[in-house]
Amino acid sequence: MKTFFFFGICLLILLFSCENDLETIRKVTYKSSDPVERTTGLKLHYTDSGFAKVELNARLAESYSKPIKVVKLKDGVKVKFFNSSGEVESILTSLYGEIRGEGEMMVRDSVRLFNIKMGQRLETEELFWNQKTEAINTERSVIVRSKDGVFFGDGIRTTQDFLKYEFIKPRGKIKLN
């Protein structure tokens, strides 16, 4: 009986003596520069009335809440834009991206925008996409390659379908038929 009582007291002491204070643990392990959330193999679908509009893929996504809310997309980003028939119309790729605010995205490092139907490709180092307006633009140097030739400029405005585009400052020689 004494042994049972002794083990019972020891067990109670062990149960109530071990306490992990979450605030103390947070002070030891938390860094304000750490992401709030980390996701590998991210795949997001944006739909409108049940129809696919945009599909976003990223190998690594990290969410931050301070100093501003931002999702950083790392190690490769691929965005597919769909037309009203549900077909992939254009594809945006880069090595890095950030989603800021409501539907605003910046991509940089080896940025490519392909229009499948037109067979044209835009190349730059930084691009901005606004989901609400479907606008894509940059102030950086750009190259547009198409069946009609290669065009250069500093800055461009287009839409996510990349059917039409406008150079802000075109440069180079263009042959007209």
Residue with tokens 């690594």: 60
Which run of H or of E encompasses 173?
none
pLDDT at 169: 93
Q: What is the pTM of this model?
A: 0.78
Q: Could you report the per-residue pLDDT of 65-88, keeping only the tens digit for each?
A: 877 889 999 999 999 999 988 899
Q: What is the mean pLDDT, run by run of 10 residues, along the chain of 177 residues?
A: 67 62 60 81 88 93 87 96 93 96 91 95 97 95 92 95 94 68
pLDDT at 19: 62
Helix, strand, or coil here: 25?
helix
- Identify the DSSP state of 10: H
Domains of the chain: 34-171 (2.60.450.10)
Q: What is the mean pLDDT of the chain?
A: 86
> Phi-psi region for residue 34, left (φ > 0), alpha (ψ -120 to 50) or beta?
beta
Q: Could you report the per-residue pLDDT of 84-107, keeping only the tens digit for each?
A: 888 999 999 999 999 987 789 999
